[in-house]
Structure 1
Amino acid sequence: MKETLNIALIQSPLHWENPKENLLMFEEKLDAISKDVDVIMLPEMFTSGFTMSPQNLDRREGDKAIKWMQSMAKKKNSAIVGSIVYWEEENYHNRLFFVYPNGETKTYNKKHTFTLAGEDKVYKAGAEKLVLDYKGFKICPLICYDLRFPVWARNIEDYDVLIYVANWPKPRIEAWDTLLKARAIENMAYCIGVNRIGQDGLGYDYPGHSAVYDVLGKQQTFSKGEEVLYATLNKEHIISTRQKLKFLEDRDDFSWKG
């Protein structure tokens, strides 16, 4: 149980469809983190880039990436979160892994596959929301396109932190900025988005804009460059703001049926 949660967001270019090079690159970046952090966030599909050709990857790469995450989580004594291409039960998934320092993992399959890129035809969509407990904070991790759907993210579980890992392209980056702030305000939770930078193998540009917003939508950190961003989340900020502004008590009552 902690009163604060220290976050590191790794904003980086990605090697196109090259898990080996991406893992080597991120290992260097993680090793360079000297601050005491509780959670390290990596972008969406951090081992490959946002590929619609998962058959170009060895199906064993997913399990290799999980073992790498477990090894690095133990080494850094920090949870690590990011999504990867994962093959299971005759389907590809855009699957997020939240890996605890002790090696325990929680998973979330992207609910809203990006139809504009044909992701819905390549990856099996998820149907279950994940809310997990970590060091006294309730965290809800989601993936990229999920950001456009506020009902899916609606805070009916009283979570403290909403996380988005993404490959969000330059032409629509204003929507990314706007929606991250909106999700924080409407859910009265910290909202964190980590995006990649650089150009992918299809020629799409990614401008970063990784950011952290507090419960009132105030931006705590933001960047357009290749770097590690840091932020501290404060439990008292969440509690005191919700006690003063009881907006969540007036939320609509509904439940998910999958």
Structure 2
Amino acid sequence: MSVIASSLKVALVQSDIHWCHVTQNLVNLDALLTLDESIDLLVLPETFATGFAINLDVAEPEEGPIFTWMKCTAARLNAVVAGSVLVQQADKKANRFYWVWPNGHYEFYDKRHLFCLGNEGAHVVAGTQRKIFTVNGFKILPQVCYDLRFPVFQRSLNDYDVMINVANWPAARRYAWDQLLIARAIENQCYVLACNRIGDDGNGVAHSGGTAAYDYLGQPICQVKDDNQGVCVVTLKHDKLAQFRERFPAHLDADAFTLNI
């Protein structure tokens, strides 16, 4: 079996998001992103520049100011920058996971599963496509927050190596966050990268973090301290993942299915 002997260095950001203050949030992120080493990929939390203010007038046009900051940051760091932004779509918004390359090229995934308890569907349009992005030979499945609870949508068809979930996941359900991330890594035999925020949002909902990287065994390999802003840098090894899958090829016994979205 041939393997891609490549690595992927990722920086995972855990930040306190100031409610609806775009400029303040971007200045805060710039202060956090004083990295002393080169990276390939930077991952930011869900709605990192506004908070989860889905019912307020905070959505930007496509390729708006927040997106422009992502482009500039990608060019400055010479790395892919990923994170979610509320983008205006007719009378609703998309919770859009942008994937921005240093050269300005970009792709995106719109959050598929909308949080009914938070009435997200009244303000946000659901995504209609499952996407796979690629960098340094790694195939990556982007997911946003509530998507984590729906394993069929995330089930690997032997088509990705890394799952990324960016979130505003409340502290009250933190145990579920930690356990589901571990489960997704084990059942899909993949690396899992998770970015969550800290602090209280404008609705008084507390967030404790849980930003971490997990290997294909579900073991944590990088974590940011709870209730603290910080950046965790981790290097993923493609050859180690491929060797594990070859030694323990559970995917060969997986049930065949078709996902209708």
Offset at 1:5? 0.4
Q: TM-score, normalised by structure 2?
A: 0.94
Q: In structure 2, give the amino acid aligned to 1:150.
A: P
Paired residues, number: 256
Question: How do residues 1-258 of structure 1 correspond to structure 2 at under 5 angstroms?
Answer: 3-30=6-33, 32-55=34-57, 57=58, 59-60=60-61, 63-223=64-224, 224=226, 225-258=228-261
Query: Mind listing any 5+ residue stretches in structure 1 that lack a counterpart?
Result: none
Q: Give the 4+ runs in structure 1 shifted more than 3 A.
A: 58-62
Over residues 205-239 of structure 1, what are the superposed CA-to-partner deviations in whole Å (9 max), with x where a residue is unaligned? 10001111101111101221211111110101110
Q: CA deviation at 1:62?
A: 6.0
TM-score (norm 1): 0.95
Verify the 8 A CA contact 1:211 1:219 in the aligned structure 2. Answer: yes
Distance change >3 Å, CA 130–CA 99, structure 1 → 2: same
Cα distance change of structure 1 residues 58 and 49 upon mapping to structure 2, 3 Å threshold: closer
* Distance (whole Å) between structure 2 residues aligned to residue 157 and residue 65 of structure 1: 33
Conserved 8 A contact 1:70-1:99: yes
8 Å contact 1:69–1:80 — kept in the other structure?
yes
Cα deviation, 1:60-106, whole Å, max 9, x if unaligned, reads 49611111111110110011100011003443111110111111111
1:243 corresponds to which letter in structure 2?
E
Contact 1:165/1:194 (<8 A) preserved:
yes
CA contact under 8 A between 2:59 and 2:86: conserved in structure 1? no
Question: Secondary structure of 1:54's match?
Answer: coil
**Distance change (3 Å), C-alpha of 1:65 and 1:157:** farther
CA contact (8 A) 1:198 1:206 kept: yes
The unaligned stretches of length 5 or more in structure 2 are: none
Distance 1:252 1:127 in 2: 23
How far apart in 1 are the matches of 2:84 and 2:56?
14
Contact 1:85 1:92 in 2 (8 A): yes
Q: Equivalent pairs: percent with the same residue?
A: 37
Stretch moving more, 217-226 or 192-201: 217-226
Which letter maps to 1:37?
A: I
SS at match of 1:46: coil
Amino acid at match of 1:229: C
How far apart, in 2, do the equivalents of 1:2 and 1:54 lie? 46
